[in-house]
Structure 1
Amino acid sequence: MTALHYEVHGPSDAAATVLLSSGLGGSAGFWQPQLGTLVDAGYRVVAYDQRGTGRSPAALPEAYAIADMARDVIEILDATNTAQCHFIGHALGGLVGLQLALDALQRIASLVLINAWSKPNPHSTRCFDARLTLLSASGPRAYVEAQPIFLYPAAWCAEHAQRVADEVDHAFAHFPGETNMRARIAALRAFDIDARLADIAAPTLVAAAKDDVLVPWTCSQRLADGLRDVTLDFMPHGGHAHSVTEANAFNRSLLDFLSRVSAPAQSTVPA
């Protein structure tokens, strides 16, 4: 199996480890707005490029599933001698966290789910249909040019035009290929653990922006209604990537949650 690229930041003797899992793009770089904040707060932080993306190249099988992505996280936890982590996932990354909490709850100290969901919904299905049609008809460049429309509020995109243009260029230069993209989208579209939400005991922060144009905020409300131990944090604006566009407000909420659920127990497995 191809090795996964991961990075470890912060003190090696930290009392708690945070693992960051990105959305559809799969890149550890998505978490730049949170990385320094978490390290400064004393956390050991693990970030990784998901299999088949970025610095973790691999040909994904057609039947690739969120459960496979959860097993990849266990591989990273083992490789970094991490017995238990605070898992933070954005969108698809949040689905990976939910699956991991069902498959290996002992590895999860807490969950942070950002604009995530427990079952498919017709609006997001329509969005992904449109994105896949664009990919087929016009190719990767058109696909990544449309990506900011789904990630960010229009006003933010206009205000940060050069940053958005740079991100689009980077996404095009590192596009994982149509086959891998289709496999990843198929995995998130097939994900449905709605009937098992009550089985997840880990304390969870459910964070969502009400102006997310890709994933309705009601999906996060459904998570909050179904999970057993929930803190719900709705923001009025910020879009699908509000952890980027409203990073300061999101980081305050994140640190507050982590400070309440972080245990002083050792976070690493003895070598």
Structure 2
Amino acid sequence: MTFKSRLFSALIAVAALHAHADEPASQPTGNDGPVYGPELQGFDYPYPVAQFAITSQRQVVKMAYMDVHPARPNGRTAVLLHGKNFCAATWRQTIETLTDAGYRVIAPDQIGFCKSTKPVRYQYSFQQLARNTHALLQALNVTEATLVAHSTGGMIAVRYALMYPRETEQLVLVNPIGLEDWKAKGVPSISIDDWYARELKTSADGIRRYEQSTYYAGNWRADYEPWVQMLAGM
């Protein structure tokens, strides 16, 4: 199984978990924090959240997004694309920095993630997520943008730039994944059922340990904790 196939399996497993968030088995174990709805109801984002309805794969789905306008516009737009373990809300500090510099900032939650729709049946691909993002930007009359993307979002951004080169002003990748071929490295494949079982065991403690070792080089600060509770509570 290629890296892309492995990642698609992970996306499908996560989406399936969120789509069945009302089932007792999908409640995080060992989580002593707040419990949020399947679309993060009850978790506050740093800026107002809007919903963009789009017909995709014979169903209507809604993309949640923040559209933050600067006090002194520079005429440019930045689009922030989150990774698998994050949401648009985690771009809070980046949004502040970019709007202070004059950028209009649009930060969506991809379909299947966070405050967006979790379809029970959906064919996830980087092309599809790029198309959804493009449809959102068209609806917001954004014809050219700088893409800033992290982790899995990096692969969406690269696909977007390849599909819509004239509408991509700049491409900024922050620790993107997809640069390695895990199959060539000998990493064994994991079935969707195994991914789903792994997601069912998600807890706040496990998320915290993973993020501390993976993203924060062993360090931890109080302002990281909301992102742990965001994922665990969903």
TM-score of the two chains, using structure 1 as the length reference: 0.54
Q: Tell me whether 1:9 sits opposite 2:73 in the alignment.
A: no
Partner of 1:65: 125
Partner of 2:10: none
| Counterpart amino acid of residue 172 in structure 1 | A
Number of paired residues? 168
Distance 2:209 2:123 in 1: 26
Alignment of 1:86-101 (within 5 A): 86-101=146-161
Partner of 2:116: 56
Contact 1:134 1:143 in 2 (8 A): no
In structure 2, relative to structure 1, the CA distance for the partners of 1:143 and 1:101 (3 Å cut) is same
Which segments of 5 or more consecutive residues in structure 1 lack a partner in the other structure? 175-271
Partner of 2:210: 147
Distance 2:139 2:188 in 1: 36
Partner of 2:171: 111
Which segments of 5 or more consecutive residues in structure 2 lack a partner in the other structure? 1-59
| Counterpart amino acid of residue 97 in structure 1 | A
| Counterpart amino acid of residue 214 in structure 2 | F
Alignment of 1:1-271 (within 5 A): 1-11=60-70, 14-59=74-119, 61=121, 63-122=123-182, 136=197, 139-141=201-203, 144-148=207-211, 149-154=213-218, 156-157=219-220, 160=221, 162-174=222-234
Contact 2:61 2:119 in 1 (8 A): no
Secondary structure class of the residue paired with 1:82: coil
In structure 2, relative to structure 1, the CA distance for the partners of 1:127 and 1:82 (3 Å cut) is farther
Alignment deviations for residues 62-90 of structure 1 (CA, whole Å, 9 cap, x no partner): 64111111011101111211001000000
Q: Which has the higher helix share?
A: 1
In structure 2, relative to structure 1, the CA distance for the partners of 1:41 and 1:172 (3 Å cut) is same
Distance 1:95 1:163 in 2: 27
RMSD: 3.0
Contact 2:74 2:101 in 1 (8 A): no
Distance 1:66 1:60 in 2: 18
Contact 1:23 1:93 in 2 (8 A): yes
Contact 2:70 2:100 in 1 (8 A): no
Contact 2:148 2:171 in 1 (8 A): yes
Alignment deviations for residues 15-74 of structure 1 (CA, whole Å, 9 cap, x no partner): 111000011135111211211111111111111111111110222646411111101110
Identity of aligned residues (%): 22
Alignment deviations for residues 99-158 of structure 1 (CA, whole Å, 9 cap, x no partner): 0111111110010011114544339995996xx96862561226534431322210x22x
In structure 2, relative to structure 1, the CA distance for the partners of 1:40 and 1:108 (3 Å cut) is same
In structure 2, relative to structure 1, the CA distance for the partners of 1:27 and 1:165 (3 Å cut) is closer
Contact 1:88 1:111 in 2 (8 A): yes
Q: Measure how far apart 1:8 and its partner are.
A: 1.0
Contact 1:52 1:60 in 2 (8 A): no
